[in-house]
Chain A
Amino acid sequence: MNYLAENTEIGALTEAVFYILLSLYSPMHGYGIMQNIRELSDERVNLGAGTLYGAINTLLERNWIRLLNREKGSRRKEYEITELGKSIVKAEIKRLEELLENGKKIAGGANQ
Chain B
Amino acid sequence: MKYIVRKAFWDYEKEEKWLNEMSAKGLALTDYSWCRYVFEETPQSEYTYRIELLENLPTHAESIAYIKFLEESGIEYVSSYMRWIYIRKKSSDGVFDIYSDADSKIKHYKRVNTLWSTLMWSDFAIGLSNIITGVKDVDKTNIWNSLKHINLFSGIFLVIVGLLFFRLGSPIRKKIRKLQQEKIISE
| Cβ-neighbour of B66 out of A34, A51, A53, A76 (below 8 A) | A53
CB pair B94–A46 under 8 Å, yes or no, is: yes
Within 8 A of B (CB), among A25-48: 29-31, 34, 45-48
CB pair B104–A34 under 8 Å, yes or no, is: no
CB pair A50–B72 under 8 Å, yes or no, is: no
CB pair B72–A51 under 8 Å, yes or no, is: no
Known A-B contacts A46-B95, A53-B66, A54-B107; the reply to A16 vs B100 at CB < 8 A is yes
Q: Is the interface of B mostly helix, strand, loop or mixed?
A: loop
Q: Is A61 part of the binding interface, using a Cβ–Cβ cutoff of 8 Å?
A: no
Interface residues on A, range: 20 to 34
Q: Is the interface of A mostly helix, strand, loop or mixed?
A: helix
Residue of B nearest to A38 (CB): B94
Known A-B contacts A14-B187, A30-B69, A54-B107; the reply to A49 vs B75 at CB < 8 A is yes
Q: Is B110 part of the binding interface, using a Cβ–Cβ cutoff of 8 Å?
A: no
Whole-angstrom distance between the alpha carbons of A48 and B73 in the complex?
A: 10
CB pair B101–A46 under 8 Å, yes or no, is: no
Contact with B along A50-68 (1 / 0, CB 8 A): 1111100000000000000
Whole-angstrom distance between the alpha carbons of A49 and B100 in the complex?
A: 8
Known A-B contacts A14-B187, A30-B72, A30-B73; the reply to A46 vs B100 at CB < 8 A is yes
CB pair B72–A48 under 8 Å, yes or no, is: no
Q: Is B3 part of the binding interface, using a Cβ–Cβ cutoff of 8 Å?
A: no
Q: Is A15 part of the binding interface, using a Cβ–Cβ cutoff of 8 Å?
A: yes
| Cβ-neighbour of A51 out of B74, B75, B94, B99 (below 8 A) | B99
Whole-angstrom distance between the alpha carbons of A46 and B70 in the complex?
A: 15
Q: Is B103 part of the binding interface, using a Cβ–Cβ cutoff of 8 Å?
A: yes
CB pair A48–B100 under 8 Å, yes or no, is: yes
Known A-B contacts A15-B187, A53-B66; the reply to A48 vs B75 at CB < 8 A is no
CB pair B104–A51 under 8 Å, yes or no, is: yes
Residue of A nearest to B52 (CB): A50
Give the residues in chain A near B52, CB-CB below 8 Å: 50
B90: shortest Cβ distance to chain A, in Å? 14
B108: shortest Cβ distance to chain A, in Å? 7
CB pair B99–A48 under 8 Å, yes or no, is: yes
Known A-B contacts A14-B187, A15-B187; the reply to A50 vs B74 at CB < 8 A is no
